[in-house]
Amino acid sequence: MPELPEVETIRLKLWPLLVGRRIVRARVLRKDIVGFPAARGFESGVAGRTITELRRRGKYLIVGLDRGGELVFHLRLSGHLAVVDRDRKVEYERARFELTGDKALSFAEPRALGRVYLVQASRYPKALAGMLKMGLEPIHDDFDAAYLHDRLRGRTASVKSLLLDQRVACGVGNIYSDEALFRAGIRPLRRAGSLEKAEVVRLARVLAEVLRDGIKWCGTTMGDGRYRLPDGGTGSFQKRLAVFGREGERCQRRGCAGEIRRQKLGGRSTHFCPVCQR
């Protein structure tokens, strides 16, 4: 699933292509891609609206519309957004928004797991109730050691599983949690409540650092190519990953002879160095 850096990259790339354009017509090509409202009401509710801004909340991309409307995209595993010529066909396209200037915003999703919602002024339906419970993003100014300590204190769950909890660290997923824990020198399976003050301070700092690095390098595109930029290009942060996807390779930290291991945690692959992350 695209994490915060990938969605932020998509937002930045789409902004100059979308803001100020009017949606002439919306076409839903697969009804279950619309999470709210029903497909027919969705199409009529979007038509004629002007795109005013693009925002992001965690892993959600929010397209602001005039009259207080919002299109909320959740890309899930393989959703892809691109601005194309209006007559261009797109493989696995599930919804299309025809725009002024003979352009179209295409929402393609091979697995059909992604969703788009039409809401009014952040009044989210039950299908988006989770957005209201999300915690702070690690790149937010108020995400500091005190905030993180408050959410980890006394918890017996692993620190990795809590970092994946969007109520704790909004926007963090499998890749960036592994990388942050490596930078912090903390074993992913360690009980969250056992972290000492200095470790929490370090973890809060590197969480922000690794996410900002991900944004700087336009996100992470792994070998499956599921995440792509709106123009079809790829991110490059995968070239700078220290542990994720590097099982069996030697640790890159200077002076370390450890070998990167992979372990299952809650159905997900977790990568770490057994030497650096004691």
Query: Is 5 in the active site?
Result: no
Annotated active-site residue in 2, 5, 138, 230: 2
Query: Is 155 in the active site?
Result: no
Annotated active-site residue in 3, 6, 43, 109: 3
3-class SS letters over the chain: CCCHHHHHHHHHHHHHHHCCCEEEEEEECCHHHEEECCHHHHHHHHCCCEEEEEEEECCEEEEEEHHHEEEEEECCCCCEEEEEECCCCCCCEEEEEEECCCEEEEEECCCCCCEEEEEECCECCHHHHHHHCCCCCCCCCCCCHHHHHHHHCCCCCEHHHHHCCCCCCCCCCHHHHHHHHHHHCCCCCCEHHHCCHHHHHHHHHHHHHHHHHHHHCCCCCCCCCCCCCCCCCCCCHHHHCCCCCCCCCECCCCCCCCECEEEEECCEEEEECCCCCC
| CB 60 within 8 Å of CB 140 | no
Annotated active-site residue in 13, 56, 59, 228: 59
Query: Is 239 in the active site?
Result: no
Provide the pairing of β-strand 69-74 with 60-65: antiparallel
* Cα gap 188→201, rounded to integer Å: 16
Query: Is 278 in the active site?
Result: no
Annotated active-site residue in 27, 86, 262, 268: 268
Catalytic residues: 2-3, 59, 268
